[in-house]
Homo-oligomer: A and B are copies of this chain.
Amino acid sequence: MTAAISELSPSPRILMGPGPSDVHPRVLRAMATPLIGHLDPEFLTLMNETQQLLRYVFQTQNTLTFAVSGTGSAGMETCVVNLVEPGDRMVVCVNGVFGQRMVDVAQRAGAEVTVLERPWGDVFPLEQIREVLRQVRPKVLGIVHAETSTGACQPMDGLGELCHEFDTLLLVDTVTSLAGIPVAVDRWQADAVYSGTQKCLSAPPGLAPVTFSPRAVETIHRRKHRVQSWYLDVSLVERYWGQERFYHHTAPITMIYALREALRLVQEEGLENRFARHQLHHRALRAGLAALGIRYAAVEGHQLPQLNAVWIPAGADDAITRKMLLERFGIEIGGGLGEFKGKVWRIGLMGYSCRANNVLLFLAALEQCLLAQGLRFPEGAAVAAANRVYRESGFATAG
């Protein structure tokens, strides 16, 4: 017999890191709903509805749109291992941790990988990509839309057309972007796109929404080798999510409940309103940080509103500041990853976490943490700057 384990009672947190974000109370409530079976006709209807809502947020008509039964990284692996066969050429654009991860995943899948690099925080110009496509003529080009390690937003216009000019499939990581900034799968002409539930969708982590273009589906159906992963084999999974309803593995029912509810919230708000909300609170946060002299790590003009990666200001200790935020204020922000470890903070304003209350409280708390460490700036300046944005934007008007 092992020692008794006490009741579940985690401290209240405000999740302003790189994900998970705060989960909406309606999503939490959905997760307390008693289960029905994964082959129950009612569950199949819930799956259809979830797919319909996913097509809405992905802005796609793709039939093969569903949720992989794993986290965002399982979504990445699903896209890679289904498109790539041993010996296939793949180009991966690397300007942060998640591009690096894609290289690793692709190599394990037997791809002959060419790495295209940019400095962390930077993005890829179309001409650089054209050049590598011309030289390598890969089967797949992989790129990260919203690089969670740097806060950089990759411009997507023209990329799909460019890839198809070279008969290359476009694979896009939208883990941090989906439902926070526009992800226009069909307009982008993207062929395989994956995301996660715990970022701007504000559901718990555990599912990876994915979508495949007809071109990608055709490629998968023409494969010469079986997909190396049985669990992630899209040609099997699509028989369960599609008309056939053929049992593959037991769907994570409660997580589907959560995703469906989170997607309903997106639909009720409307994508455009949701994007505007992310921009507004980003501007307020940004103004507040600027008042403290804090600068962004990603290049100007390509900074994600939902993931604010900023240089840790001189005089502030990374660990001390984050510990103080967590323990005194219950606020979680993220530290740096990889080469940004110890240099960058990642402040998330994702989905339900993206609210004026969080921006103002965070700035007030951050002022306190920095003052405690001896940094000097006009006290109250950060909050005042953010409030000014809210006032001028019309967000906060009396009466």
A357 interface contact, C-beta 8 A: no
A127 interface contact, C-beta 8 A: no
Q: A71 near B69 (CB under 8 angstroms)?
A: yes
Q: A8 near B260 (CB under 8 angstroms)?
A: yes
Q: Of the candidates B36, B72, B204, B250, which one forms a contact with A72 in the assembled complex, judged by CB atoms under 8 Å apart?
A: B250
Q: Of the candidates B101, B198, B231, which one forms a contact with A74 in the assembled complex, judged by CB atoms under 8 Å apart?
A: B231
A227 interface contact, C-beta 8 A: yes
User: Which B residues are CB-close (under 8 A) to A226?
Assistant: 107-108
- Nearest Cβ in chain B — how far from A318, in angstroms? 14
A37 interface contact, C-beta 8 A: yes
A251 interface contact, C-beta 8 A: yes
Q: Specify the main secondary structure of chain A where it touches its partner.
A: loop
A260 to B108, CA, bound (A): 33
Which residues between 182 and 207 of chain A lie within 8 Å of chain B, taking CB atoms?
Answer: 196, 198, 204-206
A12 interface contact, C-beta 8 A: yes
A337 interface contact, C-beta 8 A: yes
Name the residue on B nearest A77 (C-beta).
B231
Q: Of the candidates B34, B109, B205, which one forms a contact with A250 in the assembled complex, judged by CB atoms under 8 Å apart?
A: B205
User: Which B residues are CB-close (under 8 A) to A77?
Assistant: 229-231
A101 to B236, CA, bound (A): 12
A344 interface contact, C-beta 8 A: no
A266 to B386, CA, bound (A): 50
User: Which B residues are CB-close (under 8 A) to A53?
Assistant: 2, 5
Given A5-B49, A264-B5: A10 touches B32 (CB 8 Å cut-off): no
Which residues between 84 and 139 of chain A lie within 8 Å of chain B, taking CB atoms?
Answer: 101, 104-105, 107-109
A241 interface contact, C-beta 8 A: no
Counting chain A residues whose Cβ lies within 8 A of the other chain, the interface size class is 35 or more
A367 interface contact, C-beta 8 A: no
A267 to B29, CA, bound (A): 26
Q: Of the candidates B5, B33, B107, B206, which one forms a contact with A8 in the assembled complex, judged by CB atoms under 8 Å apart?
A: B33
Name the residue on B nearest A335 (C-beta).
B39
Q: A69 near B70 (CB under 8 angstroms)?
A: yes
Q: A250 near B28 (CB under 8 angstroms)?
A: no
A245 interface contact, C-beta 8 A: no
0/1 string, A10-54, CB within 8 A of B gives 1:
111101010110110000111111111110101100100100110
User: Which B residues are CB-close (under 8 A) to A15?
Assistant: 35-37
Q: A20 near B253 (CB under 8 angstroms)?
A: yes
A281 interface contact, C-beta 8 A: no
A253 to B38, CA, bound (A): 21
- Which A residues fall within an 8 A CB radius of B? 1-5, 8, 10-13, 15, 17, 19-20, 22-23, 28-38, 40, 42-43, 46, 49, 52-53, 55-56, 69-74, 77, 101, 104-105, 107-109, 196, 198, 204-206, 226-231, 247-255, 257-258, 260-261, 263-264, 267, 270, 326, 332, 337
